[in-house]
Amino acid sequence: MALIVLSLLVGFLCVFSVLLLLISNTALTLKTNPYFILLLIVVGFQRFANALYSLHITSENFSILNKVPVIVFYFVPVYYLFFSRQTDKTYSLKNELFHFLIPSILLFINLWLVNFKLFGLIYLIFSTAYFAIFTLKLKNFLLKKKSSIFDEAEGRKIKSWLILMYITASITLFYTFSLVLVDLDYEISLNQFYIYTSLLWFFTLLYMYANPVIIFGERYFVKNIQENSYKEFEIWKTTPIKSIQAKDQKLHSSISSKIGTTILNIKNLQKNVSIISTNTLTTKVIAQELQIPKSHVDLIFKYYCLYSVKEHSNLIKIEYALELIRNGYLSKYTIESLGEKCMFNSRFTFYQNFKKYVGVSVNEFYANDGVNKSITA
């Protein structure tokens, strides 16, 4: 009974999520993955209708799969296109529509020929092929190295959510396989499927609401870091990020007890405005400020920093730029002067690094707080 009620709740949450996404798209001009909205509509209606029937509120199960099982062929490309839109930057609507050709042909044939086992075998081959492709897409996406602050800070949440969606899609796929390969009562099995998968969808939706960046995307993240204290992004590790080479082992052993303290001191330098506003944080500058040998700093960067020395110095400059923007610098001065103040040699270099580490341009970052401001470029 509890799972049936949960199924009903998931139906309500899906409907609410669709309304929220549609309103957000209109009010905030966002572009939500349309296949996710479609999935929510289908998942919500199916579980809502099945829960009402299981609770004897309705005398008939209005789930479309009970009426026309072959409609399940459409769900496979919908799941695939959902993952494709999430993992790829570009897409073609014309090419996407092509994925629905086979399901449409089978639906047309189903008007004259109803053969559950035959369609089941075709579905087995059809869905397995799609499953293999979107598994590969997701794998490549998860392993792809991200460089922008947005990707590093919030990308992990989206990746976790996609893994939850993948697990849900996989269980959906394998359960439908069982309906094809095992002689089960279709209606009873489908009822159990809706009930038990509601638990997966509940946690997936819960995770989504706990991490608004999934719903609102990059613009939410940009606005969030403008309105709140800018958090410290992961730059340093407390343990080596790779094996210590033989030539470095002696020096590493001699300073190992001081590495933690040195990293902490470097972090303090990163926040010292009087230093970062007048110096580029090279290993030479850091060594001079901390009064330690440059070789020590070089080794610490080599084995404990997630960025190269040059990348690290540029990232610190960009963090300083973000701090200045938050404090209203661009309301009085130009973007070019902001780049100069942050020790960039040219406007182009500043623009390039800002886009690289933040994920959006200076103009986009400044404008996305929803306030009408003018920027002197």
Please name the amino acid found at residue 260: G
The answer to whether the beta carbons of residues 185 and 129 sit under 8 Å apart is no
pLDDT at 172: 80
DSSP 105-142: HHHHHTTT---HHHHHHHHHHHHHHHHHHHHHHHHHHH
Task: Note the pLDDT of residue 296.
Answer: 96
From CA 44, how far away is CA 56, in angstroms rounded? 18
The residue ranges of every structural domain in the chain are 2-225, 229-367
Rg (CA), the chain: 27
Per-residue confidence (pLDDT) for residue 63, from 0 to 100: 66
The answer to whether the CB of 7 falls within 8 A of the CB of 198 is: yes
pLDDT value of residue 372: 36
The CATH T-level fold of domain 229-367 is: Arc Repressor Mutant, subunit A (1.10.10)
Note down pLDDT in tens along the chain; length 377 residues: 777 888 888 888 888 888 888 876 665 445 678 888 899 998 888 888 878 877 778 777 666 666 677 777 888 899 999 888 888 767 788 889 999 998 888 888 877 776 666 677 788 888 889 999 989 988 888 877 655 555 555 566 778 888 888 998 888 887 777 766 655 455 556 677 777 788 888 988 888 888 776 766 555 555 554 444 344 567 898 899 999 999 999 999 999 999 999 999 999 999 898 888 888 999 999 999 999 999 999 999 999 998 999 999 999 999 899 889 888 898 898 999 999 999 998 889 999 999 888 878 888 888 764 333 433 33
Q: Is residue 165 classed exposed, middle or buried when 0-12, 13-18 and 19+ CB atoms within 10 A define those classes? A: buried
The pTM for the full model equals: 0.59
DSSP single-letter state for residue 31:
-
